[in-house]
Copies of this chain bind each other. A is one copy, B any other.
């Protein structure tokens, strides 16, 4: 066990630092998959992936599902609409509420990006055996539940 418990601070072994180091590398590589070829930002990609699973949701709903704040959601949707990848109308019942869907072009681009992204995830998971996979899953859930509980 060489996590940094109860010792003087050593940055390289400090859990928050190690997590953010790993996460930043992964996020950057992932972002290249859609930013290089498709001119899509990370926020935009998260909205697309959310619309793929949940058509007809509102911006606020998309924000909840992605843990993005409403300004980031608004900007991502604007970007996607400008590019013609998402279609936005406002609900008849509640005219504050947006109703979002991918356009055909959005679907087309989504279906080209998704395999790249999934493949990248698989390449990460492939280095772990099934025991390690379930450990990772458990640890992420446990830590996330903990830091989220307040």
Contact = CB atoms under 8 A, between A and B. Distances in A.
A127 B53 CA distance: 33
Contacts of A121: 4-5, 14-16
**How many subunits of this chain does the assembly comprise?**
2
A24 to B, nearest CB: 8
A130 interface: yes
Contact of A26 (B1, B114, B136, B147): B147
A25 B148 contact: yes
Interface string A1-45: 111111111111011111111110111011000000000000000
A76 to B, nearest CB: 14
Given A9-B52, A124-B146, 17 more contacts: A3-B136, A8-B114, A9-B49, A9-B53, A9-B117, A11-B50, A11-B53, A14-B117, A15-B26, A17-B46, A19-B19, A19-B22, A21-B144, A25-B144, A128-B139, A135-B139, A136-B139
